[in-house]
Chain A
Amino acid sequence: MNNILEATRINKIVELGKNNELHILKDVNLEIKEGEFVAVMGPSGSGKSTLLYNVSGMDRISSGDVLFKGNEIGKLKEENLAKIRLNNMGFIFQNINLLKNLSLIDNVMFPALVSKDADKNKVYKRAKKLLEMTGIAALENNNINQASGGQLQRVAICRALINDPDILFGDEPTGALDSKSATEIMSLLTEINKKGTTVMLVTHDAKVAAKTERVLFMVDGKIVASKKMNKFDAKVDNIKEREESIMKWIVESTDTYSNKGEEKMAK
Chain B
Amino acid sequence: MSTAPALTLRREAEVLAAPLPPLLVAAQQLAASVQMGGHGRRRAGAGDEFWQFRAAAAGDTARAIDWRRSARSDAQYVREREWQAAQSVFFWVDAAASMRFSGAATRPAKAARARLLALALAVLMVRAGERVGLLAPPAPPRPGRAQLLRLATLLAEADAAGDYGAPEVAGLAPQGRAVLISDFLGDLGAVEAALAAAAQRGVTGVLVQVLDPDEEAFPYDGRVIFESMGGSLRHETRAAGDLRARYLARLAERRDRLARLAQAAGWQFGTHHSGQPATAALLWAYAALERGR
Question: A and B from one assembly?
Answer: no
- List A residues at the B interface (Cβ < 8 Å): none
